[in-house]
Amino acid sequence: MEAEEARAATFSRRKKTLFEKSGELSTLTGADVAVLLISPSGKPYSYGSTSIEEVIEKYRELKSVDRQRDHADVGKSGDHADVGKSGDQC
C-alpha cells in the first residue's frame, strides 16, 4: 500500500516537472510540444503548447508529407539509407 502511494506521489511530481519543462521548451524555442501520459491507474494526462489536438494533427500532416518525400527520394537516388530511419517518437 505504501509503495503504491509513493509511486503515485512520484508520478504526480514527475508529471508536473515534465509538463513544466515541456512548456519551457516551447517558450524558449517556439517548438510545438505535446506530451501524452497514462498513469499507472489508467488515467490519461496531456500537455500541449497550443492544444494537444492541434499538435497531434500538425504532427500527422508533417509525417505524411515526410513519408511521401522519403518514398520519392528512394526511387530517384537508389540510396536506401533513409528508409529505416528512426527518431520520430510518438
- Asked if 16 and 37 touch (Cβ cutoff 8 Å), the reply is no
Enter the C-alpha cell of residue 26. 516551447
Residue 87 confidence (pLDDT)? 47
Closest CA to 14 of 25, 6, 26, 24: 6
pTM, rounded to two decimals: 0.68
Residue 14 confidence (pLDDT)? 97
Region of residue 23 (left: phi > 0; alpha: psi -120 to 50; beta: else) = alpha
Compute the average pLDDT of residues 34-52.
94
- Asked if 40 and 7 touch (Cβ cutoff 8 Å), the reply is yes
Q: Which domains occur in the chain, in start order?
A: 2-77 (3.40.1810.10)
Residue 60 confidence (pLDDT)? 94
pLDDT tens profile 53-90: 999 999 999 999 988 887 777 666 554 444 444 445 54
